[in-house]
Structure 1
Amino acid sequence: MLYDATGLVLAGGKSSRIGTDKALLKLNNMTLLEYSLGKLKGLFKEVMVSVDIKGKYNIDNSREVIDVYPDCGPLGGIHAGIKNAQYEWVFVTACDMPLWEDSLVVELMKRRNGYDAVVPVINNKTEPLFALYNKTCLPLVENNLNKRKYKVSDLYTELNVNYINAGELPDNGLISPSAFININTSTDYNIVLKGFLEEDKI
């Protein structure tokens, strides 16, 4: 069953630290972007990718949304996704964080009613780029962008957020140690590749 919600992959980053477009890094025969989109298509009725430049990637069967607020980091991509989403809820993930399990997304979806956002907390750290956002967030997102407040977690003080700690989940195994590794350097990329091999994801 697919959720009546939107899955959004953020792929508009500059990738300056790794020196190449992270969305096009390969995992076996797929790019990171293709892999992330494929996972979301198994969960949501609508899947989109946020980009900074129109036509940046050759994307099949996925909507491309362009940043209205360019050069504002992930918050600009989240804004574009929420603004253009067909559904009330938008699940956001970054293309350079591919090792998450579908079961964790299911748990977030179960806990969304009555909230503006659902955000995992791992080792006392929020994961704003692996989270659910309701369209009710849009005015605040736009307000922060206009004020040049680009840190995503700055939104949370003014939203009704359901923070999900690992210990609250029915099975802590839903969160593997590598689930929230994101690729910023070649070392990170090698760690992710190793994680794919160890978890039989290829």
Structure 2
Amino acid sequence: MKGYWVNHVIEIKDQEKFAAYASASEPMFKGDNKYGATMKVFGPVEATLKGDAVSHAALVEFDSVQAAIDFWDDPDYAATRALLGPLEDESSAVERRVCCIEAEQIAVSGGQWFWLNHVSEIKDEEAFFKYADASLVHFNCAAFGPVIHQHAGKAKIQLAAALGFENEQDAISIYDTSSYKSALLQGGMQEGEAHVVSRTICAIAASI
């Protein structure tokens, strides 16, 4: 099992500070440190399919979920976070959600696209998981699970997921296809999902 950060950047409030942080932290996500931290996906969100708009998103892989938790306060990484402002409050520079999950390792390749999802509330667990099980056939890889620890974000997230597609067209359009609607039907969500779940779905290209 691996640890993952599934991240949503809601708003970059100070472009200069965020750019400095991104540049300084980039070498720490190459997979060659004791945490195995590897940036798998990062960039601007092509489309927010459900939920409030998200600017950027990221998927980071770690050797374990404990490594995903511990990396946040690693002295070197904390020094890069300090470029955003006080370590306990980066909100003057960026509003983001950084969520840790544990999942089976997934392969990420160039040309692939992803949904990076945050689930803030499941209102009907039976309906949601019927839908979720039925939907899995639509993805070519999937890492998902309960949020074990959340490093940042005002909204608390229950579940997070990274769901892969072969191409952009599938990532952007599949939600409205008859095939995917059959999965939504399993959870009674074919006419809308607000009564079952509150979530954010972001479509983004793999960064490698």
TM-score interval, normalised by the smaller of the two chains: under 0.3
Q: Which has the higher contact order (CA 8 A, sep 6+)?
A: 2
Q: Which has the higher strand share?
A: 2
Larger Rg: 1 or 2?
2
TM-score (norm 2): 0.25
